[in-house]
Amino acid sequence: MKISIAVIVFLSSLLPSNLLAQSSTNTCEEAAYFILVLEKYHYEPQHLNDQLSERIYKNFIQLLDPVGFYFTQKDIDTLSSFKFEIDDQIKNNTCDFLTLASELYYKQLLLVDSAIVSILSDPFDLTVDEEFKKPVASDSNYASNTIELVKRWETWLKYLMVDDVAEQIYLQQMTRERIDSVLSHESELRIELKDGIIKRHKRRIKTLEVYDNFIFSHFMDAIATSFDPHTKYFSTREKEEFEEMLSVEVYKFGFDLGENKDGEIAITYVFPGGPAWKSNNINKGDVLIQIRLAGQKLINVSKHDLDEIDYKINSSPADEIKLTLRKATGQISSITLTKEKIEVEENSIKSFILEGDQRIGYISLPGFYTDWKSDAMLGCANDVAKEIIKMQKEDIDGLILDVRNNGGGSLKEAVDLAGIFISEGPFTIVSSRVRKPTLVKDMNRGTIYDGPLVLMINGSSASASEFLAIALQDYNRAIIVGSPSFGKATGQIIIPVDTSIDLLNVNSRPAESDNGYTKVTSLKFYRIDGSTYQKTGIIPDIPIRDLFFSSTFREAKYPYVLPSDSIVKKVYFTPLPELPLAELKQKSKDRLLSDERFIQITAVSDSMTNSLFWTTKIPLNVYAYCKEEENIYDLWTRLENLIERKTELFAITNHEYDLEIIQMNTHRKKLNDNLKEEIKNDIYIEEAYSILNDFINLNEH
């Protein structure tokens, strides 16, 4: 394939030399102040010196170009000369490094943009036996020169084309003759896919205003994650989005936006029961043309980036919006929506009764959400308590609380939730910079539920989920079932970037800030015996192999994590009598070893781990690629068939209180039915039920 490197380099050189000249000084001033805030409030502060400078450099380059698709080794050599000077430049408000990095990166963006068009001007031969080596983040993973960089993009684009063609072959169930036709250089599908790839990458070249924000945001993130992986810099928008993630209800117009294959901003999701859904005139795939928020100017969407439009809509205080949409038929439609409170289904708890040899309550808690805008700040603990009370009226014999894949959230909610099951006493030791190690205790004596309890965890159970697990485990209050948890024993608070904050009296809802916000790690948690679960995670009482979680994503794998240590503090507490864990563990082990379904699922899971999705080399011959995808499809089909075998141990019902509400709402009924099917197919819930059943039987004898 002939690629005009000279033309590409010429086009990429058309860059204003003063791209960040006016903003770099301000950026360094803001960075210097941000570091002062982190030095004051972070649990284990880093100081502005050569060591921090090197960390910032590595993080910044990693954020801009994680797998070496933009910078060449020459660029890296130039930038690395500043590796130990960033601290001095921030102190002196010079920021030559940031200006140079920005200009080099933007030049490479333009070069790559030109290269993509040039590479795709000639068709790929998708029948040649070649392999694509997956890019891996590495300090040395950079092209030696521009020619090698363009070749790297040529391979990557060919991979994207092969993947797109293979997807269409699968979706359209093409015959061999049809595939051969598609592979012809001038086929309509090939041209369409090529145009889609170009448009996808064109979106990366933003307006200078957005580009400046992009560089600034990455630089501040590079500083924050140099302290630890959970410290972040938030703009006002990012803070609102983070709080929304930890809320069960939000005020929205009821739709999500994304990009379609042509790079247009389109509706990607309509929230059932929300304003857009109720309008009966907005559908997934509708292209957004114009928006007008109440009291504001008309906005032509095509002239703005997806993030900008999304932010304008979701951060605006306006309660009304007029949308102009292009429907799938090509018809132009206008609709006016008014904001309403929408339930965030991903955060909502779900509860059912499992009817078998025992009558077991089941509660799924996907997040430790809270109401950030309410003074009462009632959240998931209050909701769990309500569900338990409903189920107790129907005489449940035991309870399963499922916090698998629960990444945490509000610490207050975790404390309140532990208090539902533990009458009184300390839950954990908290260490901070502003006071001596203290105990977090249940402030409300008494419990709501005293019966048999299983807590389900896995490798994605983190933070507040782990806090709950250690409290219940240390008091012998619950049987912890599953795989080792994530290993995050640190706590963060959100505060304005302001050095005058008093951490002892910080408001739970930070005030507005012109300097942005930081989610800063200010606490470490220890078990009440002084040991830690930082980096190691919570070890379950009864282990069940996690078939669908990669050990790659664990706290210990991240750079600059806080160390795993211990603390000395006298703590007095009274645990409940020891649980018969050895006997329960053996019963579970014997059951799973003889469960043909679990054995087969384990085998398929292992096969998938070694398949195309996880290997480092991928074929670029479309026939070989399709063969690999067919293998993956067969494995998924086998896995789905195994998973879809419904349990015979129990039936699933709703408690009476919910039945009337569910029957009155079509969407709720459909969602409820789907959840019941998922529970009946979940081998982990089935085993948790059996473990709790064993425990109840042992107690009775």
- Say how far apart CA 539 and CA 312 lie, in whole Å: 45
**Residues with Cβ within 8 Å of residue 274, at least 6 apart in sequence:** 252, 253, 254, 255, 340, 342
Q: In sequence order, what are the beta bridge partners of 409?
A: 368
Average pLDDT over residues 325-346: 76
CA atoms of 345 and 348, how far apart (whole Å): 5
CB 93 within 8 A of CB 26: no
Q: Can you tell me the mean pLDDT for 432-447?
A: 85
Task: Tell which wins on pLDDT, 355 or 216.
Answer: 355
Say yes or no: domain 249-343 is CATH 3.40.50.2000.
no
Count of Cβ atoms closer than 10 Å to residue 527 Cβ: 20
- Of 26 and 387, the structure prediction assigns the larger pLDDT to 387
Provide the 8-state DSSP code for 622: H
- Structure tokens that stand for 603 in this block: 């085998």
Residue whose C-alpha is closest to residue 141's, from 131, 132, 152:
152
- In whole angstroms, how far apart are CA 642 and each of 310, 375, 614, 682? 40, 48, 22, 10
User: Is 245 a residue whose pLDDT tops 70?
Assistant: no
**Mean pLDDT, all residues of the chain:** 83
Query: How high is the pLDDT of residue 231?
Result: 96
Question: pLDDT: is 45 or 511 the higher one?
Answer: 45
Residue 264, amino acid: E
* 131 φ/ψ angles, rounded to the nearest 5 degrees: -125, 150
Q: What is the DSSP string of 45-58?
A: ---SSHHHHHHHHH
pLDDT at 69 over 60: yes
Cβ-based neighbours of 174, under 8 Å, separated by 6 or more: 168, 182
Instruction: Read off the pLDDT band of 661 (50, 70, 90).
Output: confident
Rounded to an integer, what distance in angstroms lies between the CA atom of residue 14 and that of residue 110? 9
d(CA 262, CA 406): 35
Q: Is 485 exposed, middle or buried (0-12, 13-18, 19+ CB in 10 A)?
A: buried
8 Å CB contact between 391 and 353:
yes
Among 14-18, 285-289, 634-638, where is mean pLDDT lowest? Answer: 14-18
List, for residues 306-328, the tens digit of each pLDDT value.
Answer: 777 887 887 777 888 898 888 87
Query: pLDDT tens digits, residue range 160-216?
Result: 888 888 877 776 777 777 777 777 666 677 777 777 777 767 666 654 445 667 788
* In 294-442, alpha helices (H): 306-315, 380-392, 411-421
Q: Which fold has domain 350-700?
A: 2-enoyl-CoA Hydratase; Chain A, domain 1 (3.90.226)
pLDDT in tens, 548-592: 655 567 899 899 999 999 999 988 889 999 999 999 999 999 999
- Asked whether the beta carbons of 159 and 134 are under 8 A apart, the reply is no
pLDDT digits (tens, 9 = 90+) for 3-26: 444 434 433 333 443 344 345 557
**Helix runs in 120-235, H state only:** 146-172, 176-182, 188-202, 208-224
Residue 225 neighbours by CB under 8 Å, 6+ apart: 59, 231, 232, 559, 560
DSSP string, 37-91: HHHHH-SS---SSHHHHHHHHHHHHHHH-TTSSS-BHHHHHHHHTTTTTHHHHHH
pLDDT at residue number 70: 92
Q: Which tens digit of pLDDT belongs to each residue from 117-129? A: 888 888 888 888 8
Q: Which residues pair with 494 in a beta bridge?
A: 519
619: left (phi over 0), alpha (psi -120 to 50) or beta: beta
Whether residue 422 has pLDDT greater than 90: yes
Residue 523: helix, strand or coil by DSSP? Answer: strand
The residues facing 258 across adjacent strands are 266
- Polymer length of the chain: 701
Q: Are 193 and 164 in contact (CB under 8 A)?
A: yes
Q: Give the pairing of strands 350-355 and 287-293.
A: unpaired
Round to whole Å and give the CA distance between 126 and 164: 12
Least confident of 64-68, 85-89, 627-631, 645-649: 627-631
Between CA 641 and CA 645, with CA 644 as vertex, the angle to 5 degrees is 95
Task: Kindly state the greatest CA–CA separation across the chain.
Answer: 84
Domains 249-343 and 350-700 share a fold: no
Task: Please state, as a whole number, how many other Cβ atoms lie within 10 Å of the Cβ of residue 18.
Answer: 11
400 sits in which H/E element: strand 398-402
Specify the range with the lowest mean pLDDT, choosing from 31-35, 80-84, 301-305, 446-450: 301-305
Residues 404 and 343: their CA atoms lie apart, in Å, by 21
Q: Which residue has the higher pLDDT, 306 or 58?
A: 58
Q: What is the predicted pLDDT for the residue at 406?
A: 87
Q: Are 441 and 574 in contact, with CB atoms under 8 Å apart? A: no
**What is the mean predicted confidence (pLDDT) over 672-701?**
91
pLDDT score of 479 more than 80: yes
Rg (CA), the chain: 28
Per-residue pLDDT, averaged over 628-642, amounts to 80
Compute the CA torsion angle 496, 502, 507, 508 (nearest 10 deg). Answer: 80
Give the mean model confidence (pLDDT) for residues 24-35: 82
Percent of the chain with pLDDT over 90: 39
Side-chain half-sphere CA neighbours of 17 within 13 A: 0
**If you ran DSSP here, which 8-state letter would residue 651 be given?**
E
- CA-to-CA distance for 315 and 240, rounded, in angstroms? 8
CB 683 within 8 A of CB 404: no
Q: Per-domain residue ranges for the chain?
A: 5-227, 249-343, 350-700
Residue where the block lists tokens 């019966």 = 451
